[in-house]
């Protein structure tokens, strides 16, 4: 069952909507750090033509492609998982107050992410686990907040978990060129402070993060990226990180984002994961899709089709 939940967050900010997926005693909430932003299409997929956009517009959820404006609708989704045993966040958005001068949409933000969590009854010290699928700047921002002594872990009690190969790659670059802004500065302000606070766990790509929560390898978009699978009884939810950026990629699996480190590997990883999970009932939870983000992959004569989970509305 999926509900759309409207949470009042106060401080003069408007109410925000979130998608809530309930599986027995487990609740999964899509919380967007940035929701529904129109992105120039070729700034995401350099190979996309005007004809491609027109063809895609009829095959994706309404409003996610604007062929006339040549824009794609994107969100930046953290997923909150609450089980009787743990509270986890999958990926960590862009964060507030980060210096990202070459990424204007991410620069010195003042977004309501922590207020949204608070509206769900989650204080920062209630979070047990923060998972980084990879270390790009739009996935690690809320790892840290600015305190008196500089950038410090936002979730003081949490284990932060990231793929070791991913950390090692970016760390090598940072060590080689200490003055370089690795990952637009995110490595220094949103990852290294976790190392200093001794709360960052670097793990293998099949690591069991917690009971029922596991990494699966998905390198290509970045050198060590992993996806995350949550198993609840017979149900399975796959947090797909940046294996996909937009719903148009179900029909155009060849399309590689401008930010993929290894285009061929990114394509192969996408093909493999989509084929493995199509027709299985696995619920996908993509990082960059606007609502409705939760959906299943069905297989028919025309190929794979993304079927968003039916939504019902509820007010918090």
Instruction: Give the nearest distance from C-beta 280 to Zn ion in angstroms.
Output: 25
Instruction: Give the nearest distance from C-beta 184 to Zn ion in angstroms.
Output: 12
Whether the Cβ atoms of residue 281 and residue 233 lie closer than 8 Å to each other: no
Q: Which stretch binds Zn ion (CB under 5 A): 48-56, 134-142, 157-165, 229-237?
A: 134-142
CA 228/CA 273 separation, integer angstroms: 12
Q: Which stretch binds Zn ion (CB under 5 A): 66-74, 84-92, 130-138, 200-208?
A: 130-138
Q: Count CB-CB contacts under 10 A for residue 280.
A: 12
Structure tokens at 91: 């990926």
| For Zn ion, the closer CB: 52 or 138 | 138
CA 125/CA 59 separation, integer angstroms: 42
CA 291/CA 145 separation, integer angstroms: 27
Instruction: Give the nearest distance from C-beta 180 to Zn ion in angstroms.
Output: 20
Instruction: Give the nearest distance from C-beta 310 to Zn ion in angstroms.
Output: 27
| For Zn ion, the closer CB: 138 or 189 | 138
| For Zn ion, the closer CB: 23 or 255 | 255
Segment 240 to 279, residues that bind Zn ion, using CB under 5 A: 242
Instruction: Give the nearest distance from C-beta 245 to Zn ion in angstroms.
Output: 7
Could you say which DSSP state residue 150 is in?
A: E
Give the C-alpha distances (Å, rounded to integers) separating 244 from 24, 96, 271, 279: 28, 25, 10, 18
Strand partners, 39: 72
Instruction: Give the nearest distance from C-beta 165 to Zn ion in angstroms.
Output: 18
| For Zn ion, the closer CB: 7 or 92 | 92
CA atoms within 13 A on the CB side of 186: 25
Instruction: Give the nearest distance from C-beta 126 to Zn ion in angstroms.
Output: 26
Instruction: Give the nearest distance from C-beta 147 to Zn ion in angstroms.
Output: 26
Regarding 33 and contact with Zn ion (CB under 5 A), the answer is no
Regarding 166 and contact with Zn ion (CB under 5 A), the answer is no
| For Zn ion, the closer CB: 83 or 132 | 132
| For Zn ion, the closer CB: 21 or 260 | 260
| For Zn ion, the closer CB: 74 or 116 | 74
Tell me which H or E stretch contains 51: helix 50-57
Segment 69 to 88, residues that bind Zn ion, using CB under 5 A: none
Instruction: Give the nearest distance from C-beta 259 to Zn ion in angstroms.
Output: 7
Structure tokens at 183: 């990952």
Regarding 138 and contact with Zn ion (CB under 5 A), the answer is yes
| For Zn ion, the closer CB: 33 or 242 | 242
Segment 205 to 244, residues that bind Zn ion, using CB under 5 A: 242
Phi, psi of 268 (to 5 degrees): -65, -40
CA atoms within 13 A on the CB side of 268: 8
| For Zn ion, the closer CB: 35 or 138 | 138
Burial of 262 (0-12, 13-18, 19+ CB in 10 A): middle
Count of residues touching Zn ion (by CB under 5 A): 2
* Sequential DSSP letters for 84-130: SS-EEEE---S-SS---TTSGGGTT----HHHHHHHTT--GGG--EE
Site of interaction with Zn ion (CB under 5 A): 138, 242
């Amino acid at each position: 069952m999926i509900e759309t939940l409207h949470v009042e967050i106060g401080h003069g900010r408007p109410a925000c909507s979130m998608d809530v997926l309930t599986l027995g005693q487990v609740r999964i909430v899509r919380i967007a750090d940035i929701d529904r932003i129109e992105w120039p299409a070729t700034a995401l997929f350099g190979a996309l033509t005007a004809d491609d956009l027109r063809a895609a517009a009829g095959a994706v959820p309404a409003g996610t492609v604007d062929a006339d404006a040549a824009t794609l609708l994107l969100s930046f989704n953290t997923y909150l998982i609450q089980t009787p045993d743990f509270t986890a966040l999958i990926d960590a958005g862009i964060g507030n107050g980060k210096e990202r001068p070459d990424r204007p949409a991410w620069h010195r933000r003042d977004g309501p992410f922590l207020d949204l969590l608070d509206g769900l009854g989650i204080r920062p010290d209630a979070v047990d686990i923060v998972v980084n699928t990879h270390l790009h700047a739009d996935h690690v921002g809320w790892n840290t907040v600015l305190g008196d002594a500089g950038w410090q872990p936002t979730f003081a009690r949490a284990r932060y978990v990231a793929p070791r190969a991913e950390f090692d790659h970016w760390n090598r670059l940072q060590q080689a060129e200490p003055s370089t802004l690795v990952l637009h500065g995110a490595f220094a302000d949103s990852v290294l402070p976790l190392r200093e606070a001794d709360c960052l766990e670097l793990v293998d790509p099949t690591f069991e993060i917690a009971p029922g929560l596991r990494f699966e390898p998905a390198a290509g978009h970045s050198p060590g990226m992993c996806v995350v699978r949550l198993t609840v009884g017979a149900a399975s939810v796959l947090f797909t990180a940046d294996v996909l950026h937009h719903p148009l990629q179900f029909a155009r699996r060849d399309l590689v984002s401008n930010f993929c480190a290894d285009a061929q590997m990114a394509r192969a990883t996408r093909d493999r994961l989509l084929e493995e999970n199509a027709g299985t009932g696995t619920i996908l939870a993509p990082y960059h899709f606007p609502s409705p983000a939760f959906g299943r992959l069905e297989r028919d004569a025309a190929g794979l089709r993304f079927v968003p989970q039916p939504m019902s509305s509820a007010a918090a």
